[in-house]
Structure 1
Amino acid sequence: MKQKTIYLVFLDTGTLLTKMINLFTNSTLNHTSIALDQSLNYVYSFGRKRPKNPFIGGFVRENLQMPFFKNAACAVYRLQISEVEYQLLEQRINMMETKKHLYRYNMLGLFGVMLNKELQRENAYFCSQFVATMLSDCGVYQYHKPACLIRPQDLRDWHELKLIYQGSLSNYPYFNMTNQHEYAHKWDTSKIKLG
């Protein structure tokens, strides 16, 4: 069966909110996203809609090369999934992107994680809840606790992930490397020279 590759990105931006979360979790890299390409051009999560305001959040396509992420530390993991699972994931993300105004950040859910108490809210996610839900809905990931209690560290501990890079995000070696074969369908292929 043909395989596709996706990536899970774990970040620490060094903001005050990040430092507070790190203190509580006793770990770092507490923001997680799904990337559909190694160059990290198609990265999705639940986070800030405006970089300077941590209280306005929801579904976002993240531009990891913007100044907000300039000093971020990261770990990027590769995950092999089937073509069918990939198509389901892409469809689900595309659907959420077209209706992103309906989704909000699950700030209340973060308190649920702290108290180990399920606080489910309709159309509301925090980052690791979103990633776990997306992967579960496609049949890739079966977690041992509700998605609303999944922490980034739970995902990083998953044995299926293969670490490909850890360090400063600004030094990530695969930025701007276009995988034309896999992503040609995203552009007008008549204008792209392959080979």
Structure 2
Amino acid sequence: MMGKKVYLLLTNSGSFLTKLIKLYTKKPYNHASIAFDNELSEVYSFGRKTAGNPFIGGFVKEDVRTGLFTHADCTIYSFTVTESQMQKLKHYLDKIEAQKNHYRYNFLGLLGVMFNTPIDRKKAYFCSQFVATLLKECNIIHFEKPPSLIAPYDLQTVSTFQFVYEGKLRDYHCEN
């Protein structure tokens, strides 16, 4: 039985907020997204809803060919899920997308990561917390710490993820 591939996309857009986060983390990538195809046409995360304002955030379907992504550096990993896990992922995402106006960006949660104190808020996530929650809730990965303490770097260290690409996002050409 062949599984389906899902992709983890970690990016550094070079935005002011990213530079601020990078000062603290000292890591190259500070934004995490999940993608359901190798062309990266179905990419989801929690981030800014408008390009011009980093403080209006929530659940977003990202277009990695435009906006802040046009000059972004990235690394991409893939992992294989069962048909059942894929259905759970899609169902979970559909539920959030149907209520996306009720979801917010968990800015307080970022402080929680800095102080190693989980700050869970109802219907609020930051990018890597969202990806980790999705993977945990769909029984794909069990993390040693709560999703509200998972940073993009932590996702990069998951041993079952397969490295796909690193470089400029605009130069990425999907595997066949």
Give the alignment's TM-score, normalised by structure 1: 0.88
Query: How much has 1:94 moved relative to structure 2?
Result: 1.2
Amino acid at match of 2:161: L
Name the counterpart of 2:99: 99
Instruction: Give per-residue Cα distances to partners, 1:165-184, cap 9 Å, x unaligned.
Output: 1000010112xx9x9xxxxx
Name the counterpart of 1:119: 119
Once the two structures are superposed, the pairs formed by residues 13-92 of structure 1 within 5 Å of their partners are 13-92=13-92
Once the two structures are superposed, the pairs formed by residues 110-189 of structure 1 within 5 Å of their partners are 110-174=110-174
Equivalent pair of 2:15/2:68 in contact (CA under 8 Å): no
Amino acid at match of 1:95: K
Query: How much has 1:52 moved relative to structure 2?
Result: 1.1
Instruction: Give per-residue Cα distances to partners, 1:93-112, cap 9 Å, x unaligned.
Output: 11111110010000010001
Query: How much has 1:67 moved relative to structure 2?
Result: 3.0
1:52 & 1:171 partners in 2: Cα distance?
24
Instruction: Give per-residue Cα distances to partners, 1:113-148, cap 9 Å, x unaligned.
Output: 001111110000000000000001110010001110
Indicate the SS of the match to 1:40.
Answer: coil
Indicate the SS of the match to 2:14.
Answer: coil
2:161 & 2:10 partners in 1: Cα distance?
12
Query: How much has 1:2 moved relative to structure 2?
Result: 3.5
Amino acid at match of 2:147: A
Corresponding pairs, count: 176
Unaligned runs of 5+ in 1: 180-195
1:172 & 1:129 partners in 2: Cα distance?
25
Tell me the percent identity. 45
Query: How much has 1:26 moved relative to structure 2?
Result: 1.1
1:67 & 1:120 partners in 2: Cα distance?
29
Equivalent pair of 2:46/2:127 in contact (CA under 8 Å): yes
**More deviation in 125-134 or 62-71?**
62-71
User: What is the CA RMSD across the aligned residues, in angstroms?
Assistant: 1.2
Query: How much has 1:34 moved relative to structure 2?
Result: 0.4
Indicate the SS of the match to 1:21.
Answer: helix
Unaligned runs of 5+ in 2: none
Equivalent pair of 2:51/2:67 in contact (CA under 8 Å): no
1:149 & 1:155 partners in 2: Cα distance?
11
Amino acid at match of 1:81: V
Query: How much has 1:68 moved relative to structure 2?
Result: 2.2
1:69 & 1:52 partners in 2: Cα distance?
13
2:90 & 2:113 partners in 1: Cα distance?
27
Name the counterpart of 2:7: 7
